[in-house]
Amino acid sequence: MSATGFDHPKAPFGRRLATVEMNAPTGGYRLVSALDSEGPDPAPGQFYMLATERGWGGVDGRPYLPRAFSVASAERRDAGVRLDFLLESVGPGTEALAGLRGGDGLWITGPLGNPFSAPRDLNPRAAGAILVGGGIGIAPLAVLRRALSRRGFPHRALLGFRDRAHSGGVSELFSCSEVRLASEDGHAGHRGYVTDLLETMLDGDSAATAVVYACGPPAMLEAVRAMSLERGVACELALETPMACGFGACFGCAVPLAEGGYMRLCVEGPAVRADRIATAATAGAGHR
């Protein structure tokens, strides 16, 4: 890790039980907070494997595998670190997680994966960062945003949502930030894609001093990847793929590399340089 990079803490070995502190609605999403009394502070972009202590394994035997979630915010307390996760109920696993209540147990393994690179590790001449988030993918950018603020590094956030039901987290996670919004249904900000905003911003910026960080649905990330490569803008993407273990054992989270072959996203990502991969349109949705 370079001197400018973020610390890269290692997870305690084995899963451990965290205690849910809060589960609050934010737009169409849920923000679930849990206290981890043992683990280190996660770095921006790192993730945890999550499973509820009770009710994991429903009538049809699912959910079975834990679900990978980026941290949306982390706050050090006397009793441990409070971890916030942004959730949407879209399947049996996320339904169980979204239904957690204060005092419930939450199995966590993490923090896992490589954090985002520091801006000047991606571009030595970087003068400002552009954070591009889509839907639930705004979560890891929120942690990055705070880390950049602490370092006094200039940054702007462009956040896009499909519609009102698939939005949330902006006021909780991006307060005190320069944020521009886009929504496909026009309920907030620019009517259209967040990548429209990115294109406009890059048109007015110098590619030589820009750095882009993005997380969101595969189609959005692929558009950001193509745009940044075309313009020669330094860019890092936080990807998602189906993942069984999160620590390099299962080889399930394969992402195709530009040079051929695959990487394991869990141990070589989830933050990856845009020019390293063949596509950001990863196959297969998450386990949900």
Partner 1 sequence: MSVATDERTELCGIELEHPVINASGTFDALAARRAFGDAAWERFPFSAFVSKTITLEPRAGNPPPRLFEAAAGMVNSIGLPNKGLEGFAASDLHELGELPVPLIVSVMATSREAFAEMIGTLADRDEVAGFELNVSCPNVKSGLIVGAEPSETESLVESLRPLSAKPLIVKLTPNVADPAPIAAAAERGGADAISLINTIAAAPWSAGSRSEPWLGAGSGGLSGPSVREVALHAVHRVGAAVGLPVVGMGGIETGRHAADLLAAGAGVVAVGTASFRDPAAGLRIRDELRRFGGTARASGDPHR
Binding site residues, partner 1, CB under 8 A: 10-15, 51, 57, 60-66, 93, 107, 109, 112, 241-245, 247-256, 260-262, 264, 267, 282-284, 287
Question: Dihedrals φ, ψ of 83, to 5°?
Answer: -110, 130
Q: Which is nearer to partner 1, 81 or 181 (CB)?
A: 81
In angstroms, what is the minimal distance from the CB of 262 to partner 1? Answer: 6
CA 66 to chain centre: 17
Cβ atoms of 42 and 114 closer than 8 Å: no
Amino acid identity for residue 123 in this structure = N
What is the DSSP annotation of 50-78?
Answer: EEESSS-S-TTS---S-EEEE-SEEEEET
Output the smallest distance, CB 286 to partner 1, in A.
10
Type of residue found at 244: A
For residue 181, the minimal CB distance to partner 1 (Å) is: 30
Q: Which residue's CB is nearer to partner 1, number 37 or number 175?
A: 37
Report d(CA 206, CA 204) in Å as an integer: 7
Read off the tokens for 164: 């009102």
Min separation Cβ 222 and partner 1, Å: 15
Classify the phi-psi angles of 135: left when phi > 0, otherwise alpha if psi is within -120 to 50, otherwise beta. Answer: left
Q: DSSP secondary-structure letter at 81?
A: E
CA–CA gap between residue 183 and residue 142 (Å, rounded): 18
Find the shortest distance in angstroms from Cβ 246 to partner 1.
8
d(CA 99, CA 89): 9
Residue 229 Cβ vs partner 1, minimum distance, rounded to whole Å? 21
Determine the residue type at 192. G
Q: Which is nearer to partner 1, 115 or 189 (CB)?
A: 115
- Residue with smaller CB distance to partner 1, 226 or 281: 281
Nearer to partner 1, 120 or 288 (CB): 288
Residue 60 vs 78, nearer CB to partner 1:
60
Q: How far is the CB of 100 from partner 1 (least distance, A)?
A: 18
Q: Read off the amino acid at residue 227.
A: M
In the complex with partner 1, which residue's Cβ is closer, 22 or 244?
244
**Residue 214 in 3-state DSSP?**
strand
Return the sign of the alpha-carbon dihedral for residues 171, 177, 183, 189.
positive
